[in-house]
Each structure stands twice: as C-alpha cells, then as structure tokens.
Amino acid sequence: MTPQQRSGRGRGRPRTAETGSDNRESILGAARELFSDRGFERSTMREIGRRAGVDPALIHHYFGTKDALLVAALRPEIDVVEMFAGITADTESPGTEFLRRILGFWESNPQQRTRAIALLRVAVTHAEVAGGLREFFLGVARTALADVMAADHREERIGLMISQIAGLVMARYVLDVPAVAGATPEELAQRVGPNIDRYLTGDMTVDSWHS
C-alpha cells in the first residue's frame, strides 16, 4: 500500500486541504499583505503560499487563479442586508439614501475602501477581476434596491446604476477629480442621488430621456 493510499489522499489533492477554513483565511491574509506590499503583478502564488505556510497547490484548490484570489482577498466585506435596511419604495429619494450609505461606508472604513480601490485599478486590465468586481456591485444593487426598483427593464436599470456608482467611486478615490474628491459625501449623495432615482423608477423608453 502506498503512502497516499494509507492516508486516504489522492495524488492530485493538496496535502493540507483537510485543515479547511484556517488555511483559506491564511491564504487570504497573505494575499492581502503581498498585494499591498508588492502589487498584483509582482506577487506570485508561490510567494503567497510561502507566506501563508501552505502548498501553492492549495491556493489553486480554493481559488483557481490569481485573479480570482485577488477578488476574494480584496472584495469589501459588507453585510448588504444590514447596511441598506429600511430603504423602501416609501423612502424619499431612495437613490440619495443608497448613495449616502455607500459613501458613508467608504469614508468610515478606510481599509475596506483601499481594497475596493485596488480592485478597481486591477479590473481595468484584467477581465476576470473585472467580472468578479462587476458581480459584487450587481449583487449589492440587486439586494439593496430590489423592493424599490420598477419591474420593467430591471437589468438595464441596475446596469445604469452600477455605471453611475462605479464612475463616482473612480472619480473620487482613484482619479481624484477635484469637484468630486473635494465634495462631502452628503453633497455627492444629494447631487447624484436623483439620477439613481430615475434609473430605479423612471420611464426607460428612449424618447423619455430627451424630454
């Protein structure tokens, strides 16, 4: 009987996989440190595995690719249901309240904001990272505003909202556009929120946007 047979472990299975969530969290922590210290391109799976104390094969076992690992490591940790609780169809300007809470979260959680900015920067040139970030934003919008959004053209409405929010975050925190970076979160919420309201419930026919 071979050592692999005695241990019940197949040849292709990482030898540390049985330790479960502890290894996964160690990998995520090591990835965050290396991505922060060296940047995405200069960080290797081997180095991440060495810092986490695991076989690099285990990283592929849990996450598949380095792009997917980046998304898992840097995606902001948000309890969407709790964060947007109370936003309903009866809320005066739900778009304004939605933005108020998003901007409040970024401003009061600099570590989470840094993660999101890092993802935005890499997503520009990495399709898999862009896809993971896109699904994150879409999931937030669908969960937070599902009860507020009109029933028609829902995907178009969500897409327009995401373009507005992602552009606002990019302008404020990455491009440092003066008028956006220098405004208070409340000012931005009040100015941009009505656009979100229109995406949520407005007439989506093309002619209506020229009125």
Contact by Cβ (8 Å): 76, 116 = yes
Mean pLDDT of the chain: 85
Q: What pLDDT is attached to residue 14? A: 43
Q: Name the CA dihedral angle for 45, 51, 55, 57, rounded to a multiple of 10 degrees.
A: -20
Q: What pLDDT is attached to residue 82? A: 93
pLDDT tier for residue 3 given thresholds of 50, 70 and 90: very low
pLDDT above 80 (res 13): no
Q: What proportion of the chain, given as a percentage, has pLDDT over 70?
A: 88
How confident is the model over 31-51, as a mean pLDDT?
89
Q: Which amino acid is at 90?
A: D
Alpha-carbon dihedral sign for residues 78, 79, 81, 83: negative
Q: Specify the pTM.
A: 0.76
Question: Domains of the chain (ranges plus CATH)?
Answer: 3-74 (1.10.10.60), 80-210 (1.10.357)
